[in-house]
Structure 1
Amino acid sequence: MTAPHFEILGPDVPGPVVVEVPHAGLGLEPLTARGRGLPSIALEAGAPWADSDVGAAAVCEGLEAMGVRRIVATVSRYVVDLNTEPRVPTPYEDKRPPGLGDVRNMSRAGVMWWERRRSRAEVEELLAEVFEPYHEAVAAELAASRARHGRAALLAVHTYPDGGRKDAADVVLGTRNGRCARPAVRDALARVAQDHGLSVGIEAPFPGGYSVVRHAAPGIEAIQIELARSLVCSPGDRRRPALDPDRVARMAEVLRSVVGVLAAEVAGGAS
């Protein structure tokens, strides 16, 4: 199924694990339709790509063979951040003179620009058009999985620009300190990554964003997994990251192992 701003991929019969990739998108249509878009300096530098979760969608390809249904955003985080609690401007902010409260954007592509602040009406339109339909789709997939299996799990897949730092963890797992998933489940996934020779961070620096908080519920575990960008990209210019097919394939194998253990943990929790 393809919706205006996301895709739903996977088998007709859902397994117990649902995957979402909220920062995979590059589309700017909801902005351009409103006469906004990004300035040429940002587009020419490739800001939408550089500031996306590069490779996050690629490592999820093939998960349908494991019964996974996945929701993949096609709209850029420059339109709306699907993993951040939305903030609607107050009536007072709407009354500010033009220019006050404008936002400075600094891209990992190495460029900076100013964006006119969004009005309350614009934000509410984007939430209704993009944000809520996406999360309603995630909720519907989880409900279908739970109805079939008794329990379900959401795995929110991200990549992050580790900058090649030696102290950066290869994988970071976040559950809001056990609020969104049982620590035993999180720790089981950590062991999978470690068995693949990867270093693991627990709850820091990414404790889990809006998605895991919104969708965690009794009978639904929600876990965010962050993969270091260096695991999927070729060495080189970090401002214009390029995917390395061999690295992507290796991390796809790791993710399949993670999903397999998560499915087993879900099944064990239902017994």
Structure 2
Amino acid sequence: METFRFQPGETPVLLSIPHMGTMIPADIAGTMTDTALAQPDVDRHLDRLYHFAPALGIGFLTSLCSRYVIDLNRDPEGNQQHPAADPTELCPLTTFDRSPVYKRGLEPDGAEIGRRVGAYWRPYHERLRDELRALRDRFGVAVLFDAHSVRSEVPRFFDGPLPDFNLGTGDGCSAAQPLVVRLMNVLSASERYSAALNGRLRGGYIIRSYGDPDDNIHAIQLELTQSVYMDEAAPYRFRPDLAAEVRPSLERLMSAVVEWSWEKATGRRRAAYL
């Protein structure tokens, strides 16, 4: 079973979208509630929103499986790194609105969670790890851009509305400060959209695990509020009108990442690749 899609790029930058998948295998779907099967917490439409990325030479890795099957941005050992006070689990038992994901008595046990780690979690992370190392070895530097989206208000996790752009670097540990400053300068130039750095969303397991600036691997997470590009309520329609307004800001942001990565890439490797 194909659990992710990967397309290599032509720059040291990799775009990861771990929460966009909607696939739920039939045996797992049979244990879930109707509310869960509607998948209200999926990071919908990010492939459409970031459709410009390949033209910038950015490779991408996207999950096909739903985050309700297993959350790729959680520690498989169960350690909580999420800054929210009431985070969801590796195999979430409740939605963001605290509705049950599983029918009573059909929650996954330890053996089932372990099976899902092997079948769905590990393949994504092996591909992610291997590609970042390959980029670093080829170019001398690698940058992971971990793309997410979130409802503008999620009372379970946060008080009040979130900023439009929420940039996280694991409290400053996952990426070089000059890169982060450059990206925040791009976001601060917008008069339409608000932005925060390491605010209420500071980055999850992925960037904290793979970001290693001392080893020339940098990782950044962006949580974009869904209200800027889609309808946040069911049926969760993509809004081309809104997307057309926010996409230039995203393109400037991603272009800045690519530009910075080329500045840090070794000249010999860049010249050989081009």
| TM-score with structure 1 setting the length | 0.81
Determine whether 1:214 maps to 2:209.
yes
Q: Does the residue aligned with 1:105 lie in a helix, a strand or coil?
A: coil
Displacement of 1:42 in angstroms is: 3.9
Give the whole-Å Cα distance in 2 for the aligned partners of 1:144 and 1:41: 40
CA RMSD after TM alignment: 2.6
Displacement of 1:24 in angstroms is: 0.2
Deviates more, 1:114-123 or 1:72-81: 114-123
Give the whole-Å Cα distance in 1 for the aligned partners of 2:123 and 2:152: 31
Identity of counterpart residues, as a percentage? 24
The equivalent position to 1:128 in structure 2, one of 118, 125, 128, is 118
Give the whole-Å Cα distance in 2 for the aligned partners of 1:139 and 1:36: 32
The equivalent position to 1:223 in structure 2, one of 220, 224, 228, is 220
Give the structure 2 partner of residue 105 of structure 1: 94
Residues 180/42 of structure 1: CA separation in 2 closer, same or farther (3 Å cut): closer
One-letter identity of the residue aligned with 2:6: I
Give the structure 1 partner of residue 270 of structure 2: none
Instruction: List aligned pairs for 1:175-254, cutoff 5 A.
Output: 175-197=169-191, 198-217=193-212, 218-234=215-231, 238-254=233-249
Give the structure 2 partner of residue 75 of structure 1: 65
One-letter identity of the residue aligned with 2:107: R
Which ranges of structure 1 fall in alignment gaps of 5 or more residues?
A: 90-102
The equivalent position to 2:130 in structure 1, one of 135, 140, 165, is 140
Determine whether 1:39 maps to 2:33.
yes
Alignment check: 8 A CA contact 2:68 2:101 kept = no
Determine whether 1:19 maps to 2:15.
yes
Determine whether 1:260 maps to 2:255.
yes
Give the whole-Å Cα distance in 2 for the aligned partners of 1:35 and 1:41: 11
Determine whether 1:173 maps to 2:167.
yes
Residues 251/145 of structure 1: CA separation in 2 closer, same or farther (3 Å cut): farther
Residues 52/41 of structure 1: CA separation in 2 closer, same or farther (3 Å cut): closer
Give the whole-Å Cα distance in 2 for the aligned partners of 1:151 and 1:54: 30
Give the structure 2 partner of residue 158 of structure 1: 148
Give the whole-Å Cα distance in 1 for the aligned partners of 2:21 and 2:249: 23
Give the structure 1 partner of residue 269 of structure 2: none
Residues 104/212 of structure 1: CA separation in 2 closer, same or farther (3 Å cut): closer
Aligned length: 245
Deviates more, 1:174-183 or 1:195-204: 195-204
Residues 35/201 of structure 1: CA separation in 2 closer, same or farther (3 Å cut): closer
Q: Does the residue aligned with 1:158 lie in a helix, a strand or coil?
A: strand
